[in-house]
Amino acid sequence: MKIVVVGGTGLIGSQVVTLVRGNGHEAVAASPSTGVNALTGEGLAQALKDADVVVDVSNSPSFDTGPALEFFTRSAQHLFAAEREAGVRHHVALSIVGVDQVPDYGYYRAKVAQEEAVRAGGVPYTIVRATQFFEFIGPVMDMSTEDGRVRLPSTRLRPMASADVAAAVAEAAQGEPVNGVREIAGPEVHGLDRLGEITLAVKPDGRTVVRDEAAGLFAGMPDVLTGDDTTHLAATRYEDWLREH
């Protein structure tokens, strides 16, 4: 198949491209750096010519509500117009576990709007919802550090390796559309503050973790970011991943 990966040069997209190419498919890494811009529509028609599958793992450059909503809805509008014209048979979108249960978080509302656009896009689809990536924990800690203390809430997460996310997205792209949602998560549930402690135990840098329920991006988040009994669990543990990276 010809599989076009929108956001194909990023953390997840580049791994998806490698995986599907390894299975004998033609993979096109579509991003502004390769001349394809879903937000403006530039280059989409040429990139999607003869495409069987489109994978959208692109991300808004801003977490603010307005810019994120603009990015996801306008990109979807351009993508689905081009996909219908090209006769694409399957659209795969990457989203977030619990995204529709956090109405006060503007970025999540923008992702919900993207999911709604996927369902209404007129192309058979699969939405893959993943939990937060292991790679995200370090930057969250950095943003919450002051005077050698990392202030983090006890918000429960079930994070996972980006490699496991990419594998699930690639698997969906090579399969049949489900016209619904698949959820994936890591194998362990931890409070965010505990994830900080694990990080500094493996890679000590002089900082200490302080539990602060009002601190950072995940402050006040409801307990919905872990999935449920139907969520597929990947194998990679956070502590093992840290030691390998």
pLDDT in tens, 190-210: 999 999 999 999 999 999 999
Q: How far apart are CA 112 and CA 99, in angstroms?
A: 7
Q: What predicted TM-score, i.e. pTM, was given to this entire model? A: 0.94
Question: 161-179 pLDDT, tens per residue?
Answer: 999 999 999 999 999 999 9
The secondary structure of residue 182, as a DSSP letter, is E
* Crossing angle for the helix pair 162-174 and 11-22, to the nearest 10 degrees: 50
Question: Given pLDDT bands bounded at 50, 70 and 90, which one contains residue 224?
Answer: confident
pLDDT averaged over every residue in the chain: 95
Number of continuous H segments (helices) and E segments (strands) in the chain: 8, 12
pLDDT at 230: 86
pLDDT at 222: 84
Are the CB atoms for 12 and 165 separated by under 8 Å? yes
Does pLDDT of 160 surpass 90? Answer: yes
- Rounded to the nearest 5°, which phi and psi values hold at 212? -145, 105
Burial class (CB in 10 A: 0-12, 13-18, 19+), 196: buried
- Amino acid residing at 34: T
Question: 81-136 pLDDT, tens per residue?
Answer: 999 999 999 999 999 999 999 888 899 999 999 999 999 999 999 999 999 999 99
Question: 43-70 pLDDT, tens per residue?
Answer: 999 999 999 999 999 999 988 899 999 9
More confident position, 148 or 229 = 148
- For residue 51, the tally of other CB atoms under 10 A from its CB is 21
pLDDT at 22: 97
